[in-house]
Every structure is written in C-alpha cells, then in structure tokens.
Chain A
Amino acid sequence: QVQLVQSGAEVKKPGASVKVSCKVSGYTLAEVSMHWVRQAPGKGLEWMGGFDPGQDVIIFAQKFQGRVTMTEDTSSDTAYMELSSLTSDDTAVYYCTVASYCSGATCYSDYNWFDPWGQGTLVSVSS
C-alpha cells in the first residue's frame, strides 16, 4: 500500500518561497496521482492542485495559479510542492495525498478519493 512521508516544518519570511517534499513508498510515483491540500490554523481543507489522469496534466486551484509549482522526481519517488511570494495567509499545514481509484480488489475508472495522506508539513510565515 502507498505511504507518504513529508519533509519537516518550515519557517519563512514574507515574500520568500517554500518547497515541501513528499516521499512515496509502496508504489512508484509514476503509479499514483498526487495532490496537495492545505489547512490554515483552525480552518478547513483547501485543495491546491493535483494530477488529472484524464487530461494527463496537473491542475491548480485558480487562487494558486502562477504561485505554485508541483514537480516530481521519479528517480527518488519524491513529489514537491513549491509556493512562492509567501504571506502570513499562507501559514498552514500542507498535506500531500494520493487520488486512489481502488479499494481492496475493487477498482473504478472514475470514482476516486484521497487516501492515504502524508503526515502534514507546517509552514509558518512571519516577519
């Protein structure tokens, strides 16, 4: 089964960039559809972007377009999410997660869900 291990907490100044990593094990990165979700303190879950296998592209939430980059290193099965021009509003826990299409022996061509999730990476932005 897939396991995701993320990099450690980060503290950044406003205007800086942060790069969070997510190491995949149990499967290769090429076999999964990676997504990133963030959660500001005391707030809900916010989808940032992820891979759409139907279009074979990474799709980003509009509010992050131009400011977020999602890359993959298949040689190390590690995914990266880089967010630039940080402000205090970007203080949040950032999660990587995989869009799964199979539960046990049952697989679907279209139904999918986020499972598993990484443990989360706290990014704090403060001057």
Chain B
Amino acid sequence: DIQMTQSPSSLSASVGDTVTITCRASQTIRTYLNWYQQKPGMAPNLLVYAASTLQSGVPSRFSGRGSGTDFTLIINSLQPEDFATYYCQQTYNFPRTFGQGTKVDIK
C-alpha cells in the first residue's frame, strides 16, 4: 500500500498568512494526488485534483504543486473560512490512501 505522510500535523496561523502543507508518498504517484478540506461535522470537500488543478469554485488563493512523491498545498492570504483540516489522497492505485490530515487553526 502507498503511505501518504502529511506535515505538519497541525499549525497555527493568522488571517492573511501564507500556509504551506506538505504531503509525501511512499512511492511515486506521478500526479495522482488530490487535496480535500474538511470542516467540523461536515463531509470533506475537494479542493485540488491531479496535483495542481483547482476544482471549479475553489478560491484562487489555494494552489497545489508537485509530482512523483512530494506535493504541497499552498493557501495564500489565509481567510477565516480556511481554518479547517486538510487531507491529501492518492488515486495512483488501490487501495486508495489518505494522509493523516493537517489541522489549520487560528493563532
């Protein structure tokens, strides 16, 4: 199984900050990498697919990059509604696997 490791597990940031979340795969997954945002009590919401393509309707302050084993999700000018938990997911092969999540909270 492909292991997905996110870092950090949590971070504190202020409105307006730039936040970078890293996701590393245990083997190459090319660009078969998705990012989701989840708020408490809600289902996950897709942000980025294929490593760098922003889902329709997602604000442009979110961006994804990377290929192979190393990926990043960047949130520019953090907004109050961005405080949430973020997960990466590989769809390179089965079983599908998620990172353990990165919780972004208010400093």
Interface set of A (CB-CB < 8 Å, partner B): 35, 37, 44-47, 49-50, 52, 59, 61-62, 95, 97, 99, 103-104, 108, 110-115, 117-120
Contacts and interface: CB of A to CB of B under 8 A. Distances in A.
- Of the listed residues B32, B34, B44, B91, the one surrounded by the most CB atoms of chain A closer than 10 A to its CB is B44
A79 B97 CA distance: 22
Contact of B43 (A44, A47, A62, A95): A95
28 contacts: A35-B96, A44-B87, A45-B38, A45-B87, A45-B98, A45-B101, A47-B95, A49-B95, A50-B96, A52-B94, A61-B95, A62-B1, A95-B43, A97-B43, A103-B49, A103-B53, A104-B56, A108-B50, A110-B32, A111-B50, A111-B91, A113-B46, A113-B50, A114-B46, A114-B89, A115-B55, A117-B44, A119-B43
A123 to B, nearest CB: 15
A47 B98 contact: yes
- The interface residues of chain B, by DSSP majority, are classed as loop
Nearest to B32: A111
A77 B77 CA distance: 42
A112 to B, nearest CB: 5
B100 interface: yes
Interface of B: 1, 31-32, 34, 36, 38, 43-46, 49-50, 53, 55-56, 87, 89, 91, 94-101
Contact of B101 (A44, A49, A119): A44
Given A44-B101, A59-B94, A61-B95, 9 more contacts: A37-B98, A45-B87, A46-B98, A50-B96, A95-B43, A95-B44, A108-B50, A111-B49, A112-B91
Nearest to B50: A111
Contacts of B101: 44-45
A114 B44 contact: yes
B13 to A, nearest CB: 20
In order of increasing CB-CB distance, the 5 nearest A-B pairs are A117-B43, A113-B49, A115-B46, A47-B96, A113-B34
